[in-house]
Structure 1
Amino acid sequence: MNTRNIYLKTVPPDQAVQAAMQAIDRDRLMHTETVPSQQACGRVTAAPVFARCSSPTFHAAAMDGIAVRAQDTFAAREDQPLTLCREKDYLPVNTGNPLPQGFNTVIMVENVVEQDADTVSIDAPAAPWQHVRRIGEDIVATELLIPQNTELSPYDVGALLSAGIFEVEVHENVRTTFIPTGDEVLDFRDRPAPKPGQVIESNSQVFLASARGMGMDAESVPTIPDRKDALTDAVRKALDSGSHVVVVGAGSSAGSKDFTRPVFEELGQVLVHGIAVMPGKPSLLAVTDERSGHPGRLLVGAPGYPVSAVVCFDELIAPLAAWLARKPVPAAHEVDVTLTTKVPSRPGMAEMLRLAVGRVGERIVATPLGRGAGLLTSMIKAQATTVIPADREGIDQGETVRARLLTHPRQLDSVLMHVGSHDNTLDLLANELMGRPCPVRLVSGHVGSMGGLNALKAESALFAGCHLFDPESGDFNFPFITRYLKNMDLTVVNLAIRHQGLMVAPGNPKGIRSVADLAREDVRFINRQRGAGTRILLDHHLTEATINPRTVRGYDQEEFTHMAVAVNVRTGAADCGLGIRAAATALGLDFVPLARERYDLVIPTRFMDDPRIAALRECIGMDATQDRIKELGGYETTLTGRIMQPGDGLQPKN
Structure 2
Amino acid sequence: MDRNIYLSNISLDKAIEIYFEKIKDLKMPIEVIKTYEAKGRITAKPIFAKISSPFYNSSAVDGIAVDSKKTFTASEKNPVRLKEGVDYTTVDTGDPIPDECDAVIMVEDLIKVSEDEVEIIKPAIPWQNIRQMGEDIVEGQLILPQSHKIRPVDIGALIAGGVFEVEVYKKPKVAVIPTGTEIVEPGTELKVGDIIEFNSRVFVSLIDEYGGDATRFDIVKDDFEKLVEVVDKASKEFDLILLNAGSSAGREDYSRKVIETLGEVYIHGVAIKPGKPVILGKVNQKPIICIPGFPVSAFFVMENIVKKVVAYLQGYDVKDKRYIQAYLSKRVTSSSKYLEFVRVKLGFIEDKYIAAPIERGAGATMSLVKADGVLEVPEELEGYEKGSKVNINILKSEDEIKNTILCIGSHDVILDIASDLLSKKGKFTLSSAHVGSMGGILALKDRETHFATLHLLDLQSGEYNRPYIKRYIPNRKIALIKFVKRIQGLMVKKGNPLNINSLEDIVKKGARFVNRQKGSGTRILLDYELKKLGINPREIIGYDREDYTHISVAAQVAKNNADCGLGVYSAAMIMGLDFIPVAMEEYDIAIPLEYLELEGIKQFIDVITSKEFKMELDKLGGYDYKDLGKIIIE
TM-score, with length taken from structure 1? 0.94
CA contact (8 A) 2:27 2:314 kept: no
CA contact (8 A) 2:7 2:267 kept: no
User: For the residues of structure 2 that align with 1:466 and 1:287, how far apart are their CA atoms?
Assistant: 54
* CA 1:39–1:522: 2 relative to 1, 3 Å: same
What residue is the counterpart of 1:87 in the other structure?
85
1:208 deviation in Å? 1.4
What residue is the counterpart of 2:536 in the other structure?
548
Counterpart selection for 1:284 from 269, 279, 288? 279
User: For the residues of structure 2 that align with 1:119 and 1:390, how far apart are their CA atoms?
Assistant: 80
Counterpart selection for 1:403 from 392, 409, 432? 392
What residue is the counterpart of 2:127 in the other structure?
129
CA contact (8 A) 2:27 2:315 kept: no
1:521 deviation in Å? 4.8
CA contact (8 A) 1:16 1:316 kept: no
What residue is the counterpart of 2:445 in the other structure?
457
User: For the residues of structure 2 that align with 1:57 and 1:362, how far apart are their CA atoms?
Assistant: 50
User: For the residues of structure 1 that align with 2:138 and 2:340, how far apart are their CA atoms?
Assistant: 54
User: For the residues of structure 1 that align with 2:87 and 2:568, how far apart are their CA atoms?
Assistant: 89
User: For the residues of structure 1 that align with 2:394 and 2:621, how far apart are their CA atoms?
Assistant: 37
User: For the residues of structure 1 that align with 2:158 and 2:309, how far apart are their CA atoms?
Assistant: 29
User: For the residues of structure 1 that align with 2:42 and 2:518, how far apart are their CA atoms?
Assistant: 55
1:362 deviation in Å? 2.3
1:329 deviation in Å? 1.2
What residue ranges of structure 2 are gaps of 5+ in the alignment? none
User: For the residues of structure 2 that align with 1:317 and 1:305, how far apart are their CA atoms?
Assistant: 16
Matched residue type, 2:464: F
Aligned partner of residue 608 in structure 1, secondary structure: helix
Counterpart selection for 2:378 from 389, 393, 404? 389
What residue is the counterpart of 1:306 in the other structure?
295
CA contact (8 A) 1:29 1:244 kept: no
Percent identity of the aligned residues?
Answer: 38
Aligned partner of residue 52 in structure 1, secondary structure: coil
Aligned partner of residue 403 in structure 1, secondary structure: strand
1:93-146 deviation line (CA, Å, top 9, x unaligned): 112222124222211111111111121111111112221222232333344333
Q: Is residue 441 of structure 2 the alignment partner of residue 443 of structure 1?
A: no
Q: Is residue 179 of structure 2 the alignment partner of residue 181 of structure 1?
A: yes
User: For the residues of structure 1 that align with 2:529 and 2:349, how far apart are their CA atoms?
Assistant: 37
What residue is the counterpart of 2:151 in the other structure?
153
CA contact (8 A) 1:467 1:477 kept: yes
* CA 1:214–1:608: 2 relative to 1, 3 Å: same
Q: Is residue 7 of structure 2 the alignment partner of residue 11 of structure 1?
A: no
CA contact (8 A) 2:492 2:577 kept: yes
Matched residue type, 1:209: S
Counterpart selection for 2:470 from 467, 470, 482? 482
**Bigger shift: residues 547-556 or 165-174:** 165-174
1:187-266 pair list within 5 angstroms: 187-188=185-186, 191-241=187-237, 243-266=238-261
1:219 deviation in Å? 1.8
CA contact (8 A) 2:211 2:310 kept: no
Q: Is residue 549 of structure 2 the alignment partner of residue 561 of structure 1?
A: yes
CA contact (8 A) 1:357 1:365 kept: yes
1:156 deviation in Å? 2.4
CA contact (8 A) 2:56 2:132 kept: yes
Matched residue type, 2:435: V
User: For the residues of structure 1 that align with 2:404 and 2:282, how far apart are their CA atoms?
Assistant: 44
* CA 1:104–1:322: 2 relative to 1, 3 Å: same
User: For the residues of structure 1 that align with 2:31 and 2:212, how far apart are their CA atoms?
Assistant: 15
Q: Is residue 68 of structure 2 the alignment partner of residue 70 of structure 1?
A: yes
User: For the residues of structure 1 that align with 2:485 and 2:216, how far apart are their CA atoms?
Assistant: 50
Matched residue type, 2:465: N
Q: Is residue 343 of structure 2 the alignment partner of residue 359 of structure 1?
A: no
Matched residue type, 1:624: E
What residue is the counterpart of 2:606 in the other structure?
618
1:6 deviation in Å? 1.2
Aligned partner of residue 597 in structure 2, secondary structure: coil
Number of paired residues? Answer: 634
Q: Is residue 524 of structure 2 the alignment partner of residue 536 of structure 1?
A: yes
User: For the residues of structure 1 that align with 2:112 and 2:211, how far apart are their CA atoms?
Assistant: 57
User: For the residues of structure 1 that align with 2:203 and 2:425, how far apart are their CA atoms?
Assistant: 32
Matched residue type, 1:491: A
* CA 1:545–1:147: 2 relative to 1, 3 Å: closer
* CA 1:51–1:9: 2 relative to 1, 3 Å: closer
1:183-236 deviation line (CA, Å, top 9, x unaligned): 111112xx2343221111111111111111122112211111111122122212
What residue is the counterpart of 1:524 in the other structure?
512
User: For the residues of structure 2 that align with 1:431 and 1:590, how far apart are their CA atoms?
Assistant: 27
User: For the residues of structure 1 that align with 2:14 and 2:575, how far apart are their CA atoms?
Assistant: 47
* CA 1:477–1:497: 2 relative to 1, 3 Å: same
Aligned partner of residue 66 in structure 1, secondary structure: strand
**Bigger shift: residues 397-406 or 342-351:** 342-351
User: For the residues of structure 2 that align with 1:478 and 1:135, how far apart are their CA atoms?
Assistant: 74
Aligned partner of residue 219 in structure 1, secondary structure: strand
User: For the residues of structure 1 that align with 2:411 and 2:336, how far apart are their CA atoms?
Assistant: 31
CA contact (8 A) 1:494 1:600 kept: yes
What residue is the counterpart of 1:650 in the other structure?
none
CA contact (8 A) 1:177 1:238 kept: yes
Matched residue type, 2:314: A
Matched residue type, 1:21: F
Q: Is residue 321 of structure 2 the alignment partner of residue 321 of structure 1?
A: no
**Bigger shift: residues 222-231 or 232-241:** 232-241
1:8 deviation in Å? 5.1
User: For the residues of structure 2 that align with 1:185 and 1:497, how far apart are their CA atoms?
Assistant: 43
1:436-457 deviation line (CA, Å, top 9, x unaligned): 132x221122111111111111
What residue is the counterpart of 2:417 in the other structure?
428
User: For the residues of structure 2 that align with 1:545 and 1:397, how far apart are their CA atoms?
Assistant: 38
* CA 1:50–1:365: 2 relative to 1, 3 Å: closer
Counterpart selection for 2:408 from 412, 419, 429? 419
Aligned partner of residue 325 in structure 1, secondary structure: coil
Matched residue type, 1:261: R
1:379-404 deviation line (CA, Å, top 9, x unaligned): 11001111223343333222222111
1:528 deviation in Å? 0.7
User: For the residues of structure 1 that align with 2:550 and 2:143, how far apart are their CA atoms?
Assistant: 62
1:564-604 deviation line (CA, Å, top 9, x unaligned): 11011111111110100000000000000111011010111
CA contact (8 A) 2:80 2:120 kept: yes
What residue is the counterpart of 1:57 in the other structure?
55
User: For the residues of structure 2 that align with 1:397 and 1:194, how far apart are their CA atoms?
Assistant: 43
User: For the residues of structure 2 that align with 1:472 and 1:47, how far apart are their CA atoms?
Assistant: 76
CA contact (8 A) 2:207 2:214 kept: yes
CA contact (8 A) 1:112 1:122 kept: yes
What residue is the counterpart of 2:581 in the other structure?
593
Task: Provide the aligned C-alpha RMSD in A.
Answer: 1.6
What residue ranges of structure 1 are gaps of 5+ in the alignment? 647-654
User: For the residues of structure 1 that align with 2:162 and 2:381, how far apart are their CA atoms?
Assistant: 58
Aligned partner of residue 96 in structure 1, secondary structure: coil
1:422-474 deviation line (CA, Å, top 9, x unaligned): 11111111111111132x22112211111111111111111111111124323
1:306-354 deviation line (CA, Å, top 9, x unaligned): 0000111111111222222223314222112222222333342332100
1:534 deviation in Å? 0.7
CA contact (8 A) 1:501 1:578 kept: yes
* CA 1:530–1:145: 2 relative to 1, 3 Å: closer
Matched residue type, 1:350: L
**Bigger shift: residues 341-350 or 564-573:** 341-350
CA contact (8 A) 1:344 1:394 kept: yes
CA contact (8 A) 1:521 1:553 kept: no
* CA 1:568–1:414: 2 relative to 1, 3 Å: same
